[in-house]
Structure 1
């Protein structure tokens, strides 16, 4: 499909001529032309018969005849040797030679283009994507004539110049053709290469083959650590946005929109730009983090069988500090803490000395192995940990901006006004111990501030501080939670750095 328009145009050796010559209807349909008896209905003629009929009509046409006579008498006759007269004829290609050669020459005259239904003239120009579809349809027409063997269609990057909706339509059609019962019509095997997340998300995961470092890694159940439930889950949720992980040099899998929005900015500001390192951030949406990770884990653990793609899964610890239940209003009316089996949340003193270590290890084990590693929040959640380790003021301001977002966009407040008010209110918690201060910051999100919108504002605040020289890469790296830095560093490792 390098030049579909050229392949479908008239001309010597055109692909269209090759396709048409192999179709049953053209090879066997119609009758030959008999010069001694003009047909009552030219539609009964074969393609070659139509060419011979056209030649006969050209021979009898006065203008053609006059031009031929002048060509022969006034020019060729004067250029001929005695006894070796040169004579010219005017005909449609295909008037000489055996039937196969004549038919080939004749079929090199037509061209194939797209027209709008009900419109006589073709449009002034179709897009390259539409022409590629036309070319593929022509090749499928040829393959449908196969009666021996198992026809195969090989397509290099069918998404070229094709908008996403047509990509999905194309894949659905090809899947249907490939699934045709062998008894009714020869089944079709389709092999295509692609860089399109839209196409990748439209196919069953087990039918994909990931090519990395010149090696092929099939995604079928006999090759990955995914179980049947994982395949069913991923078929539902592995959409075009998430399918970009198949084309990445590194992957970060997160649980929410806030991480998805914030991580690219954090990485860039500490000198680990995700785009430059070819890293994709995949939002698992709160569940299935391990399922996405297992896509990259192989059953055969031999070194050459492993995918050398760093995959970092980033998750919350989900254990709050002991001061949080009272500060967040989670205690009962009498001030007591509900029994563990009557609440979904956990706090640190619910665990013995080794309990937190065991819990962390169990969370990491859900998606760790080979090139996949899980990085668990050092304390509780992303927002809490950002405040706890050095960005309490910035997250506090971002949360206030998120809460005021509607008023800001309605023109009832300005960002500067909200920031000034937020800085004044932050003084009330600045002197608290780290756990109470960070819990106070986190309480804003339980009070209605959107984590995703706050992440957007926080990214802008940090970008602005960096641009003005008030925040260096080293200063930000030191202020970030260690697990965030480790996640970014691991996913942006170069191939030569290894994955240990």
Structure 2
């Protein structure tokens, strides 16, 4: 096959087939163009002649830079999208698609690499919408394995390509690719969630922490679990300076609101909340625990329910749970220790003081009980969508406030009042999520202080504030 760096341009026949030859033919065509010739003449006669000094003669050319070397010719080529088919309009694509186009070109070049192919990409998510980010990751994963995502070439076409390769060593078969080592830096939860956890590494404070198996405390089953359940929302944890792992939606809503109210804003601290939706908190926290014992500079707080109702809780409320008076002091201590058994390094578990977040919050102080009762009362009066009109809202808030003041004045124990507030949440006659939403809204106009919160929440916020 004739080398593409040789010019085979024939001026008489105006024919060319090599890349450099085609460039020379284009140069000839540009020089012969009437508009170009007129502009060249105008510049030379009307301007350059007035700039000549002495016997100097100045003239100009307009055209492609003549060269016989292939690289400068290739540098003049522009990679762009073309219409989808005959008669189709030429679409203008944004920077995201343009970036994807040039990544494809780099992967094509790496097919012919003589050394082990290596591709470094900095933040490929730039200008890409989320769906395209997933497509880019699929492509990169495929090429890292030495495969092509688009394998729809017919067997006949593949055979024809292979036959061409046998007869002409200069043609690379369409399906022949090499595995490429690809290193990507990203701040995109979309991309992080699309990759296997073991393929990730967290960079923090000038250190790199691989999440490969045997590098973290994650079990083999944890890796499989995370492939299924580590979605885009949860993948925020890879980019956080601090992480709170919680068991449900109510904690997801309330903890950031409470932290902000007492001066420990999660957004300012760079803290992400990860709602696991169940009690498997450690499947996520083990991501930040190292087999070498080295603590990652990311504080992780696992917030858990003690699930021990206070003494005197009615049977219909405690259900199958045992109340505090049914445990010995040693048994309660052992239960609390078991809930925190996997604490290590920067991972620390904070167990509720007694039962659940909703009960413990209502039982923490009279100020907290007032807000909790207002929120629960609003949830009881709201419609199925959680909406309530402004007039009724004000009435409900005032009545709930008066009820707590009356109970306090009558000398009722705070724990007893908290049980009454928690009862409709426990028996599911009102929604925990809707109640949490109302409570978060009420915090804005409240005077709640850190000392009004349950002790375990105070300790959680204090732990995360040191980042």
TM-score when normalising by structure 1: 0.77
Listed as ranges, the matches of 1:466-485 within 5 Å are 471=447, 476-485=449-458
1:376 to 345, 351, 356: 351
Change (3 A) 1:190 1:61: closer
Gaps of 5+ in 2: 149-174
Q: What secondary structure sits across from 2:202 in the alignment?
A: strand
Determine whether 1:158 maps to 2:138. no
- Among 189, 194, 209, which residue is 2:201 paired with? 209
* SS across alignment from 1:354: helix
Q: Is the 8 A contact 2:262 2:450 kept in 1?
A: yes
Aligned-pair RMSD on alpha carbons? 3.4
Q: How far does the alpha carbon of each residue in 1:90-142 deviate from its partner, in whole angstroms, 9 at most, with x for none? A: 574253x4x21xx444444442333553466644x542222222221222222
SS in 1 for 2:11: coil
The alpha carbon displacement at 1:295 in A equals 0.8
1:277 to 266, 269, 282: 269
**Paired residue secondary structure (1:320):** coil
SS of the residue aligned with 2:209? Answer: strand
Match of 2:421 among 438, 441, 452: 441
Q: Which moved more, 1:287-296 or 1:399-408?
A: 399-408
Instruction: Tell me which residue corresponds to 1:432.
Output: 412
1:60/1:114 Cα in 2 relative to 1: closer, same or farther (>3 Å)?
Answer: closer
- C-alpha distance 105-220 of structure 1, shift in aligned 2 (>3 A): closer
Paired residue secondary structure (1:153): strand
Number of the residue aligned with 2:303: 314
Match of 2:135 in 1: 169
2:34 equivalent to 1:34: no
CA drift at 1:233: 1.3
The Cα of 1:86 is off from its aligned counterpart by: 6.2
How far off its partner does 1:327 sit?
4.9
TM-score normalised to the size of structure 2?
0.82
Q: Does 1:324 find its partner at 2:313? A: yes
Maintained 8 Å contact 2:4/2:20: no
1:403 counterpart (377, 380, 397): 380
Counterparts in 2 of 1:184 and 1:287: CA distance versus 1, 3 Å: farther
- The structure-2 alpha-carbon separation of the partners of 1:241 and 1:52, relative to structure 1 and needing over 3 Å to count, comes to same
2:457 is the alignment partner of 1:491: no
Corresponding residue for residue 129 of structure 1: 96
- Name the counterpart of 1:357: 333
Shift of 1:425: 5.1
- Mapping of 1:452-471 within 5 angstroms? 452-465=433-446, 471=447
Q: Does residue 143 of structure 1 match 2:110?
A: yes
Q: Taking structure 1 as reference, are residues 67 and 80 closer, same or farther at Cα in structure 2, changes over 3 Å only?
A: farther
Hey, what's the Cα distance between the residues in 2 that align with 1:27 and 1:34?
16
CA contact (8 A) 1:201 1:238 kept: yes
Give a deviation string over 1:130-182, Cα, whole Å, max 9, x none: 22222212222222222x22211111111112221111111111111111269
Q: Is the 8 A contact 1:327 1:440 kept in 2?
A: no
Shift of 1:218: 0.4
Deviation at 1:432, TM superposition (A): 3.4
Query: Does structure 2 conserve the Cα–Cα contact (< 8 Å) formed by 1:79 and 1:86?
Result: yes
Q: Number of paired residues?
A: 433
Alpha-carbon displacement from aligned partner over 1:14-71 (angstroms, at most 9, x marks no partner) = xxxxxxxxxxx996499822224344xx6xx222222233344456667767887898
Unpaired segments ≥5 residues, structure 1:
1-24, 331-342, 466-470, 495-500
Distance 1:483 1:52, change over 3 A: same
Whether the aligned pair in 2 keeps the contact of 1:327 and 1:439 (CA below 8 Å) is: no
